[in-house]
Each structure stands twice: as structure tokens, then as C-alpha cells.
Amino acid sequence: MTIPTEINQQATDLRHLLNKYNNLYYVTDNPEVTDSEYDRLFIQLQKLEADYPELLTVDSPTQRVGGKALDKFSQITHSLPMLSLDNVFDGEELHAFDQRVRDWLNTTNIQTYAAEPKLDGLAISIRYEHGILVQAATRGDGTIGEDVTENVRTIQSVPLKLSGDNVPEVVEIRGEIVMPKAGFETLNKQQIADNKKPFVNPRNAAAGSLRQLDSKITARRPLAMYCYGVGEIQGMDLPKTHYETMQQLAQWGCQISTELLQVEGVDGCLAYINKLGEQRDSLSYDIDGVVLKIDDITLQQRLGFVSRAPRWAIAYKFPAQQEMTIVDDIEIQVGRTGALTPVARLQPVFVGGVTVSNATLHNQDEIDRKDVRVGDTVIVRRAGDVIPEVVQVVLAKRPDNTVKFTIPTQCPICQSDVERLEGEAVARCSGGLFCPAQRKEAIKHFASRKAMDVDGLGDKLVEILVDEGLINDAADLFKLTIEQLSSLDRMGEKSATNLIASLETAKQTKFARFLYSLGIREVGEATARSLASHFLTLEALEMADEPALIEIEDVGPIVAHHVVTFFQQTHNREVIKRLLDAGINWPAEQKRISDSELSGKTIVLTGTLEQLSRSEAKEKLLALGAKVAGSVSKNTDYVVAGRDAGSKLNKAESLNITVVDETTLINWLN
């Protein structure tokens, strides 16, 4: 269909007018026409494009409504990486950054910085070719991002076509997608009215809106983009400073921060930071700091980059926002390693963009230092804008009936003794074999290769078995049946049969391995071997007191205390008894030969042995009183080199350490 010239011109004029009015309304906040007039022109253009589809262009204002929903986002490799920024948190660190910059530039001159707000949103890179928006991608990992072109096209403050005559052939404009505070409040009111979950904060709302697979949903969300830089550019040279570059982007119709300023030196930066900090709550969008960039582009190029961050820019992070609330309770959480952590249950308060109802109190020392009590009014902040913490107690508001809080002496989960050694901040439950809070980690350790070596019992399967209620402790493993296992997802009868066979095989073990599998604090493989060879029987070890344990060469007071405390717990002894009743056994332990020629010698095994495995050789050497090390040092006495020995052999030769072959090793062992 041939389009009449006057119709073509009318559509061109309408597109120009609507893009102009759109920019004035969303970018410069200076509308020239009423909403009704804008709507009238918009409908007029829509009708023309419906009557003459050939008129439709990708930069038409009518194309912001969203298109067909996607199954998933494709990936885009950035032509130039989208770098992250290093952070500073106070004036001293900012002075140090400025000094490093001047040292790198070999100058004492005061530097000019471009200062702008650090918006709390989602980074984006938008590619324009001959002025037309052709592609938009999230930052991703800095090298590869997600293709969100269709969603970005719906954002009113993003020009579909750059304005002016001096538009480059290619330009990638980088910026931040945000949801202004007013739009966020309106959106959440609508979410609640629609019986949907409200968004936690504007950043989450912006990120979730931009990553909708249906761009029609994005089109209904009040998003905005503020530009902060340029990636790839072809066909023209940018201005010589960052500030002037941003003004060029504004001339092309892009939205930039009205708070962008040029400042001189660190003093100018700090004055800007202080002023923006005072204005933070009154800004139309959320910020979490200030970005400072060396303004001169030539100097930026000289400074270059380190790792994944530019040397010429820094982010000054504002202190976490703080609020007051009341401590309703203090509860104890028991972690997977037995650590007891006190947690303050708070009357919900909105801090730093999220509702906070819990805050960690870390440990008893921290509670004592801050003297936090149930009923106290406290100041809460999100440390690093992530983890809620109690900053201090408002003593003037303390009720008369408060009492000091002390971490209990018995585990609130399993009632085992809680131990806290002198000099340690963390209190821990000693019921490692039994405590439900620790059961998953305890069972994983019990079944691990260097412990009971249960083939086929991986971490995920342990978690499934616990979650399904099939096992509560390590002893329950030996009650499992093929029928129970084969009923689990992705666990066929053959796998179940193999696991039962592995459990049966694991019953034949060694005393040292069994001790190590119990997960006693500070008792590693070497200490377990020392305990086994010294006490010879489990009964003797269970009855040993701390002085008897300290007699062993590599057992100190702390390890001795852990061992005694572990065996004092009734729950632990009950699980051990059930393990032995299930059939776990080991050959009688033999006293190490203390008068052998290898006693006290440090030996390193390297390469492949032909007549026995490395683990067998290690066990036999340990039985002769030798120490088997994993690396060669000046303290090594012998290196046993098997086939294809590598770097350890080379190091031994360089240190003039005696190297022997497997034949010599066999003679030693015999």
C-alpha cells in the first residue's frame, strides 16, 4: 500500500512530538502539555499505525507496551566489561584512595572529581546503532548479562531513539534501572489491593520488574533509568571529561542525575557526600552512597583498571540506616556445628529498606558488652546493609524489671552440656552425635571417606534421609532397609542394595577411624591415631581424665577437655553403644613400636606404589612410630618415591633429603 505523503508526514510529526513530550515529562520533569493532550496525540498515532502498518517504526512511542512473553532470557556478552567499584566507608579511606590516584599519576595536583549519587538499583547496558535502541542487557557477571531488550523498551525514561544530529554509529549507554519511591509505594498499594505479596524495597521491585519474562508486566511497573557512563562507542569522540559526557547523554535524550557535580579534591568530595547524605531521605529514589570518578577521561585511561574495578573511581558507602525498636525476647539458635548464637526477637521495624524482626547478638561477650536485655529499647541497623544487628541499648528507656541475659549451660535442643573454653567467644553444644541441630553434619562426617568411608552415602542423601525421618543419628544408618531406600526419589533398588552393602562393609573398621568419625572437637585423623595407639581400647579412652589425656604427645589441655566432655554426655555414649551393637568392630589395637629405627622419623610418600596402597603404607609406618607428612620440608627425614613421582621428589633432591624406593619401604615394614 502506498502511503500518502501527508499521512507519512503526520505520523513523523506525531512521533517527534510524543517523544519530545515523553522526554520532558519523564527525564527533565518539565512537562509542556497535559496528560489528556498527550493521550489524544498518542491515540491519534496508534490509529494511523493501525490503518497504515507500514508506518510502524521500532522507535515509535506506541511500542512501549510490551510484546510476546519469553520462555527465558538469552545471554549477551558485553563488548566492554561492566566493572564493579571498590568501596570506602569514611573520610580516611577516601583520602587514601585520592593519595593512591595521585601516586599512580605521579602528581601532587588536586584532582577534579565527578560526583553523583550511587543509585540502589540494577545496572544496565543499552546499545544504540545509528541512534536506534537495538539491545539492552543486565550487568550479569560483568562479562555476560541477560537480554532484557523488550523490557527496557517499555521504560518511559529510556529513549527508543537518540535525539540530535551528532549521534554516533554505535554507542552503549550504561546506567541504573530504579523504581522511584513514589512509584514503589503506588505499586505496593496495588499489590495489596490485588491480594498479592508487596515488594520488600524499591531495589527488589526494580530487579523483579526488569526480569519479567512477559514485557507487558514490566510496562506496567513504574521504572526509570539514570545514565552514568558509556561503554563501546563508534563513529565519534566523546567529550574530554565525564561531566561533559553526561551532558552529551542528556542532549541525546537520556536521563542523568540532577545531583551530578564537579568537585575539587577530597574536601570537595566530602562536602558533596555530607550534603547528599542530608538530602538522602528527600530524594525521589533510594541511594546507598556516592560514586566519585576522576573527571578527566585522559587521566582515567592512564590510571586503567585493577582486577575487575577501575583505579579512577570509588564508591563511598553511606553508614547503615538505623532505627529504634524493642527486644521482645532473646532466643538461642544452635548451628550445624553446635555453636550457640543468641538472637534478639524484635518488634518489627523498617530499617534500610527492609522490615527487621530479628538481630544477631553474636555471643555472650557481645551481650555483656552491650548489656542487651529482654524489654530493652535498642538501636538497630543493617550492618553493611545486609545483616541486622543491635548497635546499642537506649538505657534511658530501660524498664525497671529487666534482668541480665546469660547463655544456658544446657543445649536448648538436646540438653547436652554447653562448653565454652577460656579465651573462646563461642559456646557450643557437646552433644555432637545426638543433637538434632547438628545431626546432618555429624552423619555426613561419620560417613566421610577418612572416617567410616560409607561408599554411596553422599551429603544430599544424608539430608534426604534426615528430612524424611528415616535416620536421627549415625547409628540409625545401620537400621536402614533396601525397601526404605528404594522408595526414595532417584534411589533405585540397585543403588539401595549397594548402599546397604557399603554400610555392612563399613562395620569392619579401625579404632582410630571410628574415633575420628565421632566428630569430637579438635580430634582430627592424627589425634585419633594417637588416642587409639595410646589407650588401645574404647573403654580405656572413655574412662580417661584430662591429666591422662595430656600425657599424649599431641594432645593439649583444650583437646583433652573436648574429649572428656564428649564422653561425659549420656546421649553420645548411647549412640556409641548403638553403633557397637549394630556390629561396628575393629581389630585389637597394637602398641606402636617405640624402639624401631623409624620411630619419630618424618616420612613423605610420593608416586604410585606397586605392592600396597598409600593408605596401607601410611598405617604401617604409623604403627612403627613414624610420622607421615603430606609435603616435603627441611624437617623431612625420608621420601619414599614410587612410580611417576613428581614435584615432591624434585624438592627432596633439592634439599638433599634421603630418597628411598618401595623395596626399601617393604624391608622397613617387614
* pLDDT band for position 660 (cuts 50, 70, 90): confident
317 is catalytic: no
Task: Return the SS3 of 170.
Answer: strand
Give residue limits of the domains in the chain. 5-64, 87-317, 322-397, 439-581, 602-669
Rounded (5°) CA angle 612-618-624: 110
Specify the residue for cell string 566530602.
270
Check residue 70 and give its pLDDT: 62
Q: Please give the order of strands across the beta sheet that includes 313-317.
A: 87-88, 313-317, 287-294, 112-119, 261-264
**Residue 164: left (phi > 0), alpha (psi -120 to 50), or beta?**
left
* pLDDT band for position 69 (cuts 50, 70, 90): low
Mean pLDDT of the chain: 87
Q: How far apart, in whole angstroms, are the C-alpha atoms of residue 369 and residue 419? A: 20
Is the alpha carbon torsion for 29, 32, 34, 36 positive or negative? negative
Check residue 307 and give its pLDDT: 67
Give the pLDDT confidence of 77-117 residue by residue, as tens digits: 999 989 888 889 889 999 999 999 999 999 999 999 999 99
* pLDDT band for position 67 (cuts 50, 70, 90): low
End-to-end CA distance of the chain: 100
Give the pLDDT confidence of 550-596 residue by residue, as tens digits: 888 678 888 898 899 999 999 899 999 999 999 999 998 766 555 56
Specify the residue for cell string 494511523.
48
- Assess contact for 528 and 512: CB atoms under 8 A: yes
Give the pLDDT confidence of 245-297 residue by residue, as tens digits: 999 999 999 999 999 999 999 999 999 999 998 888 889 998 889 999 999 99
Give the pLDDT confidence of 428-482 residue by residue, as tens digits: 898 888 888 888 889 999 999 989 999 999 888 998 998 899 999 999 999 999 9
Q: Which residue has the higher pLDDT, 553 or 513?
A: 513
Please give the backbone phi and psi of residue 365, each rounded to the nearest 5 degrees, phi first: -60, -40
What mean pLDDT do residues 389-415 have?
91
Per-residue burial over 589-621, b if 16 or more Cβ lie within 10 Å, else e, is beebeeeeebeebbbbbbbebeeeeeeebbbbb
Question: To which H or E segment does residue 326 belong?
Answer: strand 322-334
* pLDDT band for position 170 (cuts 50, 70, 90): very high
Of 161, 153, 110, 313, nearest in space to 228 by CA: 313
* pLDDT band for position 40 (cuts 50, 70, 90): confident
- Assess contact for 582 and 473: CB atoms under 8 A: no
Q: Which residues make Cβ contacts (< 8 Å) with residue 286, sequence separation at least 6?
A: 119, 120, 121, 178, 181, 201, 202, 203, 353
Lowest-confidence segment of 7-21, 54-68, 186-200 by average pLDDT: 54-68
Q: Which amino acid is at 128?
A: Y
Q: How far apart, in whole angstroms, are the C-alpha atoms of residue 568 and residue 410? A: 13
Q: What is the dihedral of CA 399, 402, 404, 407, to 10 degrees?
A: -120
Written in H, E and C, the secondary structure of 385-441 is CCEEEEEEECHHHCCCCCCCCCCCCECCCCCCEEECCCCCCCEEECCCCCCCCCHHH
Chosen CATH of 439-581 out of 1.10.150.20, 1.10.10.10, 1.10.3720.10, 3.40.50.300: 1.10.150.20
20, 47, 72, 118: which is the annotated catalytic residue? Answer: 118
Question: To which H or E segment does residue 462 belong?
Answer: helix 459-467
Lowest-confidence segment of 61-70, 124-133, 530-539, 654-663 by average pLDDT: 61-70
- Assess contact for 18 and 38: CB atoms under 8 A: yes
322-397 folds as: OB fold (Dihydrolipoamide Acetyltransferase, E2P) (2.40.50)
**Where does residue 20 rank: exposed (0-12), middle (13-18), buried (19+ CB within 10 A)?**
middle
The residues pairing with 190 across neighbouring beta strands, listed in sequence order, are none
Rounded (5°) CA angle 255-261-264: 155
Check residue 165 and give its pLDDT: 82
- Assess contact for 123 and 83: CB atoms under 8 A: no
* pLDDT band for position 600 (cuts 50, 70, 90): confident
Residue 173 has pLDDT above 80, yes or no: yes
Check residue 595 and give its pLDDT: 59
- Assess contact for 203 and 122: CB atoms under 8 A: yes
The residues pairing with 334 across neighbouring beta strands, listed in sequence order, are 340
328-332 CB contacts, 8 Å cutoff, 24+ apart:
328/374, 329/374, 330/361, 330/367, 330/372, 330/373, 330/374, 330/405, 332/407, 332/408, 332/412
What mean pLDDT do residues 520-537 have?
88
Q: How far apart, in whole angstroms, are the C-alpha atoms of residue 519 and residue 338? A: 11
Q: Please give the order of strands across the beta sheet that includes 224-234.
A: 132-138, 122-129, 170-178, 224-234
Residue 179 has pLDDT above 60, yes or no: yes
Q: How far apart, in whole angstroms, are the C-alpha atoms of residue 382 and residue 358? A: 11
Check residue 392 and give its pLDDT: 85
Give the C-alpha distances (Å, rounded to integers) separating 161 from 24, 129, 167, 335, 362: 15, 9, 10, 55, 54
Rounded (5°) CA angle 80-86-89: 155
Q: Which residue has the higher pLDDT, 658 or 230?
A: 230
Say whether 602-669 and 439-581 share the same fold. no
371-374 CB contacts, 8 Å cutoff, 24+ apart:
371/404, 372/327, 372/330, 372/344, 372/405, 373/327, 373/330, 373/398, 373/402, 373/403, 373/404, 373/405, 374/327, 374/328, 374/329, 374/330, 374/402, 374/403, 374/405
Check residue 49 and give its pLDDT: 82
Is the alpha carbon torsion for 552, 555, 561, 564 positive or negative? negative
Say what percent of the chain tops pLDDT 90: 46
What mean pLDDT do residues 161-188 have?
93
Is it true that domain 5-64 has CATH number 1.10.1520.10? no
Check residue 353 and give its pLDDT: 63
Please give the backbone phi and psi of residue 554, each rounded to the nearest 5 degrees, phi first: -105, 30
Q: How far apart, in whole angstroms, are the C-alpha atoms of residue 322 and residue 319? A: 9
CATH class of 87-317: alpha beta
Name the DSSP class of 147.
B
Q: How far apart, in whole angstroms, are the C-alpha atoms of residue 373 and residue 376? A: 6
Lowest-confidence segment of 29-38, 246-255, 580-589, 621-630 by average pLDDT: 29-38
Chosen CATH of 602-669 out of 3.40.50.10860, 3.10.450.50, 2.60.40.3140, 3.40.50.10190: 3.40.50.10190
Grid coordinates belonging to 590: 597394637
Grid coordinates belonging to 306: 585493577
Q: How far apart, in whole angstroms, are the C-alpha atoms of residue 415 and residue 406? A: 16
Give the pLDDT confidence of 1-15 residue by residue, as tens digits: 678 888 888 888 888
Q: How many CB atoms lie within 10 A of CB 340?
A: 22
- Assess contact for 77 and 305: CB atoms under 8 A: no
